[in-house]
Amino acid sequence: MASSIKSLDFKKFLSMLPDRQERFEAAPATLPPGSDQARVIARALHPVRQYLRVAAVTERGADCKSFDLVPDPERGTTALAWFGAGKYLTVFETIEGMRVTRAYSISSSPKQALEGKYTLTIKLVEGGLMSRYILDNWTVGTPVEVSAPSGSFEYQPLRDAKKVICLAGGSGITPFLSMAAAIADGDEDFEMTLLYGSRTWDAILFRDELAEIEKKTDKVKVIHVLSEKTSGRMRKGTEKGFITAELIQKYAPTDEPYSVFLCGPQQMYAFVDKELEKLNLERKYIRHEMFGEFHDPASQPDYPSDVPETVQITVTIQDETKTVTGSTGDSVMQILEKNGIAVPARCRSGECGFCHSHLLAGKVYVPKNMEYRRMADHKFDCIHPCCSFPLTNLVLNVPAAR
């Protein structure tokens, strides 16, 4: 709490108070009789589930597609929950009898949600379960089940600087496309300089869409950073190589603070985080989107030695207890899912707390960059199964999947 208060800008906060006061005064003093406005709004913004169907599919190269999703009134969803640009949806699928969940950022704008459409853009991950399934199976008309929009990767005027350098890699462009469109629509008020890393000019996702947004607003500027040599001359305004501290400095303001937002694959974070250290930015000005599940914990320098290859997990969910066996290379959540036990999940990155469970016996390893637990969680032995890897046999209480 103290650290989140410290990260706020009180000058900005005070400047917003008069506007807040005006809104209070303009609001009706009493609710209309018989209405329960707060509950109606809460349900519309945070539905437990949204039942949608695929309305259109757009190919984006050999291994990536965008899916337009619209409400499916026949299954009870008549309107889409609104969201702040940068949020993700958790997709629920049943693949070979196994309940699978994965997070996908909404690449369309908040305005489009009000018009009845979300777009998800999904890139194939080699050997991946959900991305392969979606790319092979979702066609026009496919029913889709998703969560309410979730996540905290969004612009917060009280915390973030007015100028934001956004660093994207590959499919990490999706939340930034939504933010850029929201700026052009007047729904977000900040200046975005997007350094977007792709392999080649042809591999750039949403190249035309980004160019269109740049034409609509001078608050969005896009610089493509290409890592592979391309034949012919470099296009004007394109950078070569990787996103380095030097490159960020070239485009960052020199006379005022700026925020850095980062979204891309795990390997990009490891590289860019080292570059960001050179810039000595205040911690509150650096924001990372989560990158999803962690694989291969044994590659981490602080992973203990002498961990057995397999372990047993005794798990109780809603008065039912089962004992299953799994590999210590898998997270507790993956082991349970592989054994047909569905665990509540949203981000699968340790951040949302949705899978919060009680560890009654045994030890787990949590990679450093996925350790979002609070002090009380450590004190009372609570873990997030999505990013906890068993080191010994475990006994655990898990909430029922929602």
Ligand X SMILES: Cc1cc2nc3c(=O)[nH]c(=O)nc-3n(C[C@H](O)[C@H](O)[C@H](O)COP(=O)(O)OP(=O)(O)OC[C@H]3O[C@@H](n4cnc5c(N)ncnc54)[C@H](O)[C@@H]3O)c2cc1C
CB under 6 A: which stretch of 10-18, 48-56, 63-71, 347-355 binds ligand FES? 347-355
d(CA 379, CA 373): 10
Strands of the sheet containing 143-146, edge to edge, are 98-105, 88-95, 143-146, 50-59, 64-71, 118-123
Q: How remote is the C-alpha of 198 from its chain's centroid?
A: 20
Kindly tell me which residue out of 50, 105, 119, 369 binds ligand X, with binding defined by CB under 6 A.
Answer: 105
CB under 6 A: which stretch of 42-50, 123-131, 308-316, 377-385 binds ligand X? 123-131
Question: Shortest gap between Cβ of 126 and ligand FES (angstroms)?
Answer: 23
Kindly tell me which residue out of 88, 176, 285, 354 binds ligand X, with binding defined by CB under 6 A.
Answer: 88
Buried b or exposed e, range 228-261, using 16+ CB within 10 angstroms: eeeeeeeeeeebeeebbbebbeeebeeeeebbbb
d(CA 131, CA 125): 6
> Which of these, 277, 245, 263, lies nearest to 349 by C-alpha position?
263
d(CA 52, CA 136): 18
d(CA 162, CA 155): 9
| 233 to 210, 211, 369: CA distances (angstroms) | 22, 20, 40
Kindly tell me which residue out of 174, 178, 328, 331 binds ligand X, with binding defined by CB under 6 A.
Answer: 174
> Quick one: CA torsion of 91, 134, 82, 263, rounded to 10 degrees?
90
Kindly tell me which residue out of 66, 131, 193, 328 binds ligand X, with binding defined by CB under 6 A.
Answer: 131
Tokens representing 375 are: 């002090």
Question: Shortest gap between Cβ of 220 and ligand X (angstroms)?
Answer: 19
Q: Which does 126 bind (CB under 5 to 8 A by kind): ligand FES, ligand X, none?
A: ligand X
Nearer to ligand X, 327 or 397 (CB): 327
Q: Quickly list DSSP for 300-336.
A: STTPPSS--SEEEEEEEETTEEEEEEEETTS-HHHHH
Strand partners, 324: 313
CB under 6 A: which stretch of 96-104, 138-146, 159-167, 189-197 binds ligand X? 96-104
Kindly tell me which residue out of 281, 293, 343, 359 binds ligand X, with binding defined by CB under 6 A.
Answer: 293
Query: Would you count residue 384 as binding ligand FES (CB under 6 A)?
Result: yes
CB under 6 A: which stretch of 80-88, 188-196, 303-311, 348-356 binds ligand FES? 348-356
Query: Would you count residue 342 as binding ligand X (CB under 6 A)?
Result: no
Kindly tell me which residue out of 91, 345, 366, 383 binds ligand FES, with binding defined by CB under 6 A.
Answer: 345
Query: Would you count residue 347 as binding ligand FES (CB under 6 A)?
Result: yes
Q: Which does 386 bind (CB under 5 to 8 A by kind): ligand FES, ligand X, none?
A: ligand FES
Interface residues toward ligand X, by CB under 6 A: 88, 102-105, 121-123, 125-132, 151, 171, 174, 289-293, 295-296, 329-330, 347, 349
Interface residues toward ligand FES, by CB under 6 A: 345-348, 350-355, 384, 386
